[in-house]
Structure 1
Amino acid sequence: MLEQTAEVIHTASDGVWVQAVEPSGCGTCGGQGCSSRRIAELFQRKPRNFLVDCDLPLTPGDRVVIGIAHGSVLKSAMRAYGLPLGLMLAGALLAQAIQPGDGAALAGMLIGGVVGWFLARGGRTARPVVLRREDRISFQVMKGQS
């Protein structure tokens, strides 16, 4: 199961809305921020909120660990990208076999792509679930102590 720490934004009847909590860094620079992180922050988009399934009583501001099954990310990517791309290729090849020429191949590709897009949008995606609350106790290891 893939896990990520998130903060509860607000609760809903069918789950909770969360926002992913980004780590402060890899730890190599002591949390000061290296040039790679600063460059990445230039292209960072505004935070997105996600609806996740939850059985726990939570309030806004709670930190939780959310998880999603290993195979569901690959399945979603194949449905969103692989299905339309495969149908575009199949449409182009089929149209080329029926009517040789670039125009027919282009028309078959467009028809296959549109059909693939509609089929990809029709499926249900697996939503992440709240696994547990994040421990409020943080352990800090001070330099020279163990």
Structure 2
Amino acid sequence: MNDAWGTVTAVDDGQATIRMDDGGCGRCRESGGCGGNNLGHLLCATPRTLRVANPERCVVGQRVRVGVVDGSLGSSALHAYAVPLLGLFVGALGGSAVAGEIGAIGGSLGGLLGGWWGLRRAHLRSRDDPRFRPSIRP
């Protein structure tokens, strides 16, 4: 499980709004950690909040552990980076073969947009899948 800690800020209709304490996996300060949380603080100073199911009936102010199933985070990151990048490369190679440098530029833009569109469709198909949804852990 990939877990992080947060505090319940609101509860309604079986859902809890949770303000996350830290971003990332929690290994930022350990040796071998990527340090991505430090960069995240520079780019986004507002606290992250999640809205998750509340089967444990947590109350406002309670600290909770929130997690996602193993493998889902890595899979999502791989798709988010690989699909648009692959579209960019395929579009550039195809455009270059058809119309040289101008074709490569147009093909790379078209491939990048196509990759983004495919990623967006995959997101819409999988957003109701419980494997990709954060949940409160006991």
| Pairwise TM-score range, normalised by the shorter structure | 0.7 to 0.9
Structure 2 residue runs without a partner (length 5+): 30-37
Stretches of 4+ aligned residues off by more than 4 angstroms: none
Structure 1 residue 21: deviation in Å?
2.2
Structure 1 residue 98: deviation in Å?
2.4
In the alignment, residue 128 of structure 1 is paired with which amino acid? Answer: P
Deviation track 1:39-87 (CA, whole Å, cap 9, x = no partner) reads 98x8361211112233111221111111112211111112222101111
Tell me if 1:106 matches 2:105.
yes
Identical pairs, percent:
27
Greater Rg over alpha carbons, structure: 1
Measure the CA separation in 1 of the matches of 2:95 and 2:116: 18
In the alignment, residue 118 of structure 1 is paired with which amino acid? Answer: W
Q: Which residue of 1 aligns with 2:34?
A: none
In the alignment, residue 109 of structure 1 is paired with which amino acid? Answer: S
User: Measured at CA, do residues 13 and 96 of structure 1 come closer, stay the same or move farther in structure 2, by a change above 3 Å?
Assistant: farther
- TM score, norm. by length of structure 1: 0.69
Q: Identify, as 1 or 2, the structure richer in helix.
A: 2
Q: Which residue of 2 aligns with 1:2?
A: 2
Q: Which residue of 1 aligns with 2:64?
A: 64
Mapping 1:67-78, distance limit 5 Å: 67-78=67-78
Q: Which residue of 2 aligns with 1:131?
A: 137
User: Measured at CA, do residues 130 and 98 of structure 1 come closer, stay the same or move farther in structure 2, by a change above 3 Å?
Assistant: same
Measure the CA separation in 2 of the matches of 1:15 and 1:94: 48
Mapping 1:72-87, distance limit 5 Å: 72-87=72-87
Measure the CA separation in 2 of the matches of 1:114 and 1:14: 38
Structure 1 residue runs without a partner (length 5+): 27-38, 133-146
Secondary structure (helix, strand or coil) at the match of 1:87 reads helix
Deviation track 1:116-136 (CA, whole Å, cap 9, x = no partner) reads 11121221351111012xxxx
- TM score, norm. by length of structure 2: 0.72
Secondary structure (helix, strand or coil) at the match of 1:61 reads coil
- RMSD, matched Cα: 2.4
Structure 1 residue 2: deviation in Å?
1.2
